[in-house]
Homo-oligomer: A and B are copies of this chain.
Amino acid sequence: MQAYKDVAKFGAPAAATIEVVAGVDLPGFTMTFSRNEEIFGEEEPADFIYRVVEGVARTVRILSDGRRQISAFHMAGDVFGLEMGEAHRFTAEAVSQCKIALIRRPALERVVERDISAARKVWALTSRDLHDAQDHLLLLARRSATERVCTFLLDIAARSVRGDMVDLPMSRLDIADYLGLTIETVSRTLTQLEREGTIGLPNCRQVVLRDRPAIARDAA
């Protein structure tokens, strides 16, 4: 618990039973983090695994010269910070104010040692992350700015069930660092799509998917 000694900073942890994955419930506690607050740091011992209860988190890597890359956004229900090694390989931060459930890793390890089906479900989490990373890889390696942005919009839309109105919980900088672009290119691409009538931009945190087929086409 070292990292969270100073609980005043984070809001009081609340003990609870956390469903890590379907059918695997473990004792844990929830904490709230404010916008941009660090949840855990790269290289820190991976003593917990984390599950988003409310809000959105991001996992980030930063190069020495400041170039930043967001590997994933984590929405309600997503598990992150699961490691086989001793240390975290990313920094995790709150995108918006969020409530996060923490599960002590030894507790998870114990269940995994005993229960094959639980072990399988935990493995599936890693496998899922791998698939996402591989899709992301293809995106970054071979897709144009427009394709990246459109893919991103469809992805976010699929993860937040709101019809054609999509809320973007993250800033343009976050989107840019996720897509391997600059903030300006993201902005220009969005306004370009708006000019073509493909999307609407009532404000900078909301997108209306006016022409999904066109977006899907652009997402290639």
Interface string of A42-72 (1 = CB under 8 A from B): 0000000000000000000101110111010
Number of this chain's copies in the complex: 2
Interface string of A64-94 (1 = CB under 8 A from B): 1101110100000000000110000110000
| Contact residues on A (Cβ < 8 Å of other chain), bracket | 35 or more
Do residues A138 and B64 form an inter-chain contact, with CB atoms below 8 A? no
Interface string of A123-143 (1 = CB under 8 A from B): 110110111011011101110
Binding site for B on A (CB under 8 A): 61, 63-65, 67-69, 71, 83-84, 89-90, 112-113, 116, 119-120, 122-124, 126-127, 129-131, 133-134, 136-138, 140-142, 177, 179-180, 220
Known: A61-B138, A119-B120. 16 other contacts (CB 8 A): A63-B142, A65-B220, A69-B141, A69-B142, A71-B137, A71-B138, A84-B124, A89-B134, A112-B120, A116-B119, A122-B123, A123-B123, A123-B126, A129-B130, A140-B141, A141-B180
Give 17 CB contacts A-B under 8 Å.
A67-B142, A69-B138, A69-B141, A69-B142, A83-B127, A84-B123, A84-B124, A90-B134, A119-B119, A126-B130, A133-B133, A137-B140, A140-B141, A140-B180, A141-B179, A141-B180, A142-B180
Q: How far is the CA of A47 from the CA of B67 in the complex (A)?
A: 41
Give min CB distance, A22 to chain B, whole Å: 15
Interface of A is mostly: helix
Interface centre among A126, A127, A137 (most CB of B within 10 A): A137
Give min CB distance, A30 to chain B, whole Å: 26
Of B112, B137, B138, B140, which contacts A63 at CB under 8 A?
A: B138
Do residues B138 and A137 form an inter-chain contact, with CB atoms below 8 A? no
Q: How far is the CA of A119 from the CA of B114 in the complex (A)?
A: 12
Q: How far is the CA of A116 from the CA of B138 in the complex (A)?
A: 34
